[in-house]
Structure 1
Amino acid sequence: MQLRDDFAKHISELHNPIDRPYTASIDKSLLEKIEDVEHLNKEIHDVNPDYLTFLPAYFWVFYFAIGWIYFSSFMFLIVSTDGLLHLQSYNIPLLVLDVSIALSMFIVFCTPLILLLYHFFRKYPIRTQYYFLKKEQKIAYYYRPLWKFRQSYELKIVDYKDIRPDLHQDPYNRAYTPLNLYVADPETGDITHHLKLEDYRVNPRVQWAFIRTYMESPAENLPIDNKICQAYPIDTSKSLFACSDIVFRKNSLVNNTHSGSDTAIVLVISSLYALGYLFQGNHYQCVKRAILHPDVKKLLTRDGKDNPYPIQPITPEAEKAFQGKNWQVNFRWIFAILINISLFAWAVVAYNS
């Protein structure tokens, strides 16, 4: 089983099943919801005659908030125990005790920072990325249980026609209703695959109609806006900063050319939220691509030419940025990090003065 305890374990336990592939006509009215369709356009990583994939959903805001709560707690404890942590150089036992307490506090309260730095170097993805293979009518993805983070990812390939979509409401968050795709054993009804798209920012019915339109309909039926949808070379990028910039470009805060314009906006925002944006950029950068696996690559014939879907081309500035050679992008993020570090250091000094 690949499922959490709060999800169905048998196909008869699905919460709110919706239309299966090819079993009913696609409700095209769903694709007229402008905000949801625009969101899906921004989330597209690749779309061509062979495969479609989205950027993996990631709750960076939650991580950022929890991380800074930890840092704030750390600073608060330093203040509240100001008299405790004065190093007693003349008393070896007390010196050892003070150092041990300080290290223990840092490890406990700065765990998000430690995990962030660890993730930067390890470059392992957290969210799964799914590839919808139109030509082969299959879905390919890598799977690894969240609690087995040292285990290697295992390639999974399922038939699209066997998918059973379900709108599962999280019992711990009633506002969170993601689209879940299941595959069950035809004889026993036991669920053998669970694909969790986990994008809470879009109507799951619109997301499923979008996927069905790609898999089951001609290219002209898929609502692609070339002013929004751009193919990002994320997981092959050498630049963490260029990947982090995607957050701003997806939200139309800056232009898509990765030029020096709008630097002030990005600088101000990224200085305040550098931890979350860099973590998300790192996640984008290290997404494990099923397309590179030999068993999936042989299913694809995409040569990069004659794409019937109107994807915005990568500009020379953006290509330079993803190679790590765009000095404007690099300077912007380095300066934002320095501002972030300075503010944190100032807070520590101010609280302990």
Structure 2
Amino acid sequence: MQLRDDFAKHISELHNPIDRPYTASIDKSLLKNTEDVKHLNKEIQNINPDYLTFLPAYFWMFYFAIGWVYFFSYMFSVIFILLFIVNLDFVLSGFTVWFVLVGILMFIIFCTPLILILYQFIAKKPFRTQYYFLKKEQKITYYYRPLMKFRQPYELKVVDYKDVRPDLHLDKYNQAYTPLNLYVADPETGDITHHLKLEDYRVNPRVQWAFIRTYMERPADELPIDSELCQAYPADTSKSLFACADIIYRKNGILPSDHSGGGQIMVFIIGSIIALGNLFQANHYQCTKRAILHPEVQKLLTWDGQDNPYPIQPITDEAKLAFDGRNWEVNIRWIVAIIINISFFSWAVVAYNS
């Protein structure tokens, strides 16, 4: 398995290893951290006697990418208008070819990010990895593809939970970023064979590992689940980008949890300003490669779908409609937010050039 150069190549090179599965008692004091446990409850996509999975985590680079799109799209509009207005006589005096070449170059440089995002909305290429912790089978399943090999298809990976070696990986470029990484090594050579990057920097990685260990190793009643926060989501890909975008707001307590259409004004105020970014994040959730849908993983599942011992909110009728794209309270809210967002952007360009 090919790893990035800045990650461990050998098990002895791990940065800060912590206790492995079943090798030590779980520090339950970690699960008394209200904020971190609350965060994990909101991040759970599904939890039952068969498997636990969290929503795919996102880097701060996502927000940087959205800023890139806005900045360069805006600058393209401004520079193109200024060149056309200020240098109109210059263009007509015989430098049309130069003007066209400059215009094409600016279009490529400034609008490529926006075009790529619009392409992603249509093509729905998966970027994020989702990990499934199978409790009864004591395995972890996920899809893997090398970071920069976009044309290579994803490979299904199934690893034994007991072979995992957790490590608090320190990012040398960002000392404040310490995510939980899970490694599996060859027992003879010690070489890393699997690298699971959970990548959620918003929670204490020790709390996250204690949470996962409690799920995998202990009875259901020992897992700190808040039924008001932990909600069920469809295990398959949603048909509605807008319903996926609603998840962002519901996790932050801005919207009610049932996709009822409430909280309209708050979404118009907040969502209209950063609607593109939220929709892009929702697109990543919508098209994440889900190992749970693979036949080989389905063979490992034994739960019959009844009597879930974990207290979670079921999928409401409104949510089912929303994820099928047929909840028009949700759809209209996001359509209006997008229209307001476009209006803000257009106003900014016009105001700058007036």
Range of TM-score over shorter length: over 0.9
**Aligned partners of 2:157, 2:328: CA distance in 1, in Å?**
40
**Aligned partners of 1:173, 1:342: CA distance in 2, in Å?**
36
- Aligned residue identity for 1:10: H
Counterpart contact for 2:11–2:185, Cα < 8 Å:
yes
**Aligned partners of 1:234, 1:163: CA distance in 2, in Å?**
25
2:220 alignment counterpart: 219
1:323 alignment counterpart: 324
**Aligned partners of 1:270, 1:103: CA distance in 2, in Å?**
32
1:42 alignment counterpart: 42
Aligned residue for 2:272, secondary structure, equals: helix
Tell me the TM-score normalised to structure 2 length. Answer: 0.94
**Aligned partners of 2:74, 2:322: CA distance in 1, in Å?**
34
2:18 alignment counterpart: 18
TM-superposed CA distance for 1:2, in Å, is 2.9
**Aligned partners of 2:346, 2:267: CA distance in 1, in Å?**
22
TM-superposed CA distance for 1:96, in Å, is 4.4
Cα gap change, 1:234/1:251 in structure 2, threshold over 3 Å: closer, same or farther?
farther
**Aligned partners of 1:327, 1:320: CA distance in 2, in Å?**
9
Counterpart contact for 2:46–2:232, Cα < 8 Å:
yes
TM-superposed CA distance for 1:251, in Å, is 0.6
Per-residue CA shift, 1:94-122, capped at 9, x if unaligned?
44443332232122112321121111111
**Aligned partners of 1:127, 1:85: CA distance in 2, in Å?**
45
**Aligned partners of 1:4, 1:105: CA distance in 2, in Å?**
33
Aligned residue for 2:17, secondary structure, equals: coil
**Aligned partners of 2:162, 2:151: CA distance in 1, in Å?**
32
TM-superposed CA distance for 1:69, in Å, is 2.8
Cα gap change, 1:116/1:85 in structure 2, threshold over 3 Å: closer, same or farther?
farther
TM-superposed CA distance for 1:67, in Å, is 2.5
Per-residue CA shift, 1:180-220, capped at 9, x if unaligned?
00011111111111100000000000000000000101111
Cα gap change, 1:172/1:123 in structure 2, threshold over 3 Å: closer, same or farther?
same
Cα gap change, 1:234/1:304 in structure 2, threshold over 3 Å: closer, same or farther?
closer
1:255 alignment counterpart: 256
Alignment of 1:336-347 (within 5 A): 336-347=337-348
**Aligned partners of 2:236, 2:107: CA distance in 1, in Å?**
32
TM-superposed CA distance for 1:149, in Å, is 1.3
- Aligned residue identity for 1:284: Y
1:71 alignment counterpart: 73
**Aligned partners of 1:6, 1:243: CA distance in 2, in Å?**
33
**Aligned partners of 1:326, 1:141: CA distance in 2, in Å?**
31
**Aligned partners of 1:211, 1:187: CA distance in 2, in Å?**
27
Could you list the runs of 5+ residues in structure 2 that have no partner in the other structure? none
Say whether 1:279 aligns with 2:280: yes
**Aligned partners of 2:165, 2:5: CA distance in 1, in Å?**
19
**Aligned partners of 2:116, 2:321: CA distance in 1, in Å?**
29
Say whether 1:205 aligns with 2:206: yes
**Aligned partners of 1:204, 1:194: CA distance in 2, in Å?**
16
TM-superposed CA distance for 1:167, in Å, is 0.3
- Aligned residue identity for 1:175: A
Alignment of 1:1-353 (within 5 A): 1-59=1-59, 60-78=62-80, 81-82=83-84, 86=88, 94-233=95-234, 235-353=236-354
- Aligned residue identity for 2:69: G
Aligned length: 352
Query: How many percent identity over aligned positions?
Result: 70
Per-residue CA shift, 1:153-178, capped at 9, x if unaligned?
11111111110000011000011000
- Aligned residue identity for 2:233: Y
